[in-house]
Amino acid sequence: MSQSSLLLLLFHPDLSRSRANRVLVEAVRGLPGVKVHDVYTASSGNRINVAEEQALLVAHPLIVFQHPFYWYSGPALMKEWMDRVLEQGFAFPPGVGDRLRGKRWLSVVTTGGAEDAYRSGGFNNYTMSELLRPFQQTANLCGMSWLPPFVVHGVLPPGIEGFRNISDEELHRRGEAYRQLLAGLIAEGA
């Protein structure tokens, strides 16, 4: 039986070069009730241990999927993880693969694009809520409830000029807001 109620699945291919995801994960690491699981580190060479990943999911009622937005989705290993871990008979179909039913899914996403780029007519044409639908519907099919996503916008790599880049202070404020969000969800009973 796990001591933690919240499983934070971190998908970042190189955390040593991360700006946003590193700040966010450090803001919540050590929060009582939170288990951080770095999937890239745990699955080096794409060797995902499906049984271990499934056992972690089963042991936690609230699952956080934290990742940078890559091509309007998650990094490649996140897709591989979904394809292999959310397998038939475990995560679906309803009434058969019910191991995730009743759990909650929180997507925590960092983007290079600014908030106003994610709207109809904006640089990226669609809202985050529209672009995250494949994750939302995955949660639905697994019988999980979808929480409002926590998004940090405008985190650009060095060398991209002409776009607003989030300041370190603002990034740390978002980290604090993230910590408060998770603490609140845990207090609700995750």
Ligand X SMILES: Cc1cc2nc3c(=O)[nH]c(=O)nc-3n(C[C@H](O)[C@H](O)[C@H](O)COP(=O)(O)O)c2cc1C
Contact set with ligand X (CB under 6 A): 12, 18-21, 68-72, 110-113, 155, 157
Q: How far is the CB of 127 from ligand X (least distance, A)?
A: 13
SS (H, E, C) 62-77: EEEEEEECECCECCHH
Nearer to ligand X by C-beta: 57 or 128?
128
> How many CB atoms sit inside 10 A of residue 183's CB?
16
* Shortest distance, position 106 Cβ to ligand X, whole Å: 17
Q: CB-wise, 12 or 179, nearer to ligand X?
A: 12
- Residues contacting residue 45 through CB under 8 Å, at least 6 positions apart: none
**Is the Cβ of residue 61 or residue 112 nearer to ligand X in the bound state?**
112
Q: Which is nearer to ligand X, 101 or 172 (CB)?
A: 172
Which residues neighbour 174 within 8 Å (Cβ) at sequence distance 6 or greater?
A: 23, 24, 152, 166
What's the CA gap between 6 and 104, in Å, rounded? 10
- As measured in angstroms, the least distance from the Cβ of 18 to ligand X is 3
CB of 2 to ligand X, least distance (A): 26
**Which sign does the torsion angle of CA 17, 20, 26, 28 carry?**
negative
Separation between Cα atoms, residue 43 and residue 172, nearest integer Å: 29
Distance (Å, whole) CA 171 – CA 163: 16
CB of 48 to ligand X, least distance (A): 20
